[in-house]
Amino acid sequence: MIAALKNWYTELGVQSPTTAKNELLSGLTVALALVPEAVAFAFVAQVNPLVGLYAAFLVGLITAVFGGRPGMISGATGALAVVMVSLVAQHGVEYLFATVVLMGIIQIIAGIMRWGKFIRMIPYPVMLGFVNGLAIVIGMAQLTQFKTPEGTWLMGNGLMLMLGLTALTMAVIHFFPKMTKAIPAPLAGILITTALAIGLGLEVSTVGDLASIAGGLPDFHIPMVPLTGETLKIILPYAVILAAIGLIESLLTLNLVSEIKNEKGGASRECVAQGASNLITGFFGGMGGCAMIGQSMINVKSGGLNRLSGISAALFLLAFILFGSSLIEMIPLAALVGVMFMVVIGTFAWQSIAALRKMRKSDAFVVILVTAVTVWQDLAIAVIVGVIVSALVYSWNSSTHLDIRTSKTGEGNKIYTLYGPLFFGSTESFMEIFDPENDTDDVVIDFMHSRVWDSSAIEAIDKLADKYRKAGKELHLCHLSPDCVRLLTRAKNMVEVSTIEDPNYGVAADYDLNK
At 128-157, the pLDDT tens digits run 898 898 888 888 888 888 988 788 899 999
Neighbouring residues of 381: CB distance < 8 A, sequence distance ≥ 6: 373
How far is CA 473 from each of CA 411, 443, 465, 468, rounded to the nearest angstrom?
15, 8, 9, 5
pLDDT at 509: 40
- pLDDT at residue 108 tops 70: yes
> Backbone dihedral region of 303: left (phi > 0), alpha (psi from -120 to 50 degrees) or beta?
left
DSSP helix/strand/coil, 292: coil
pLDDT at 124: 84
Range with the poorest average pLDDT among 109-118, 319-328, 450-459: 450-459
What does the pLDDT average to over 344-349? 86
- pLDDT at residue 497 tops 60: no
CA dist., res. 5 & res. 511, Å (int)? 29
Listed residue (250, 275, 248) closest to 265, CA to CA: 250
Neighbouring residues of 147: CB distance < 8 A, sequence distance ≥ 6: 153, 154
Domains and CATH numbers, the chain: 2-348 (no CATH), 402-496 (3.30.750.24)
Q: 168 pLDDT band (50/70/90 cuts)?
A: very high
Q: Which residue has the higher pLDDT, 319 or 10?
A: 319
pLDDT at 121: 77
Q: Which residue has the higher pLDDT, 161 or 4?
A: 161
Range ranked top by mean pLDDT from 67-76, 82-91, 275-284, 398-407: 275-284
Percent with pLDDT over 70 in the chain: 95
- pLDDT at residue 374 tops 90: no
pLDDT at 372: 93
pLDDT at 107: 97
pLDDT at 500: 42
pLDDT at 99: 97
Hey, what amino acid is at 239? A
At 479-491, the pLDDT tens digits run 887 777 777 776 7
Listed residue (309, 56, 301, 24) closest to 186, CA to CA: 301
Q: Which residue has the higher pLDDT, 192 or 489?
A: 192
**Strand pairing class (290-291; 442-452):** unpaired
Question: Cβ-count burial of 406 within 10 angstroms (0-12 exposed, 13-18 middle, 19+ buried)?
Answer: exposed
- pLDDT at residue 473 tops 70: yes
Q: Answer for the pair 153, 159: CB distance below 8 angstroms, yes or no.
A: yes
What does the pLDDT average to over 155-166? 94
DSSP helix/strand/coil, 404: strand
Q: 91 pLDDT band (50/70/90 cuts)?
A: very high
Distance of CA 286 to the CA centre of its chain: 22
Q: 508 pLDDT band (50/70/90 cuts)?
A: very low
- pLDDT at residue 510 tops 60: no
Kind plus residue range of the DSSP H or E element containing 296: helix 293-301
Would you say how long the chain is, in residues? 515
Q: 408 pLDDT band (50/70/90 cuts)?
A: confident
At 233-268, the pLDDT tens digits run 999 999 998 998 899 889 988 988 888 877 777 899
pLDDT at 319: 95
What does the pLDDT average to over 353-370? 88
Q: 281 pLDDT band (50/70/90 cuts)?
A: very high
Q: 27 pLDDT band (50/70/90 cuts)?
A: very high
Average pLDDT of the chain is 87
- pLDDT at residue 465 tops 70: yes
pLDDT at 506: 55
At 45-64, the pLDDT tens digits run 888 999 999 999 999 999 99
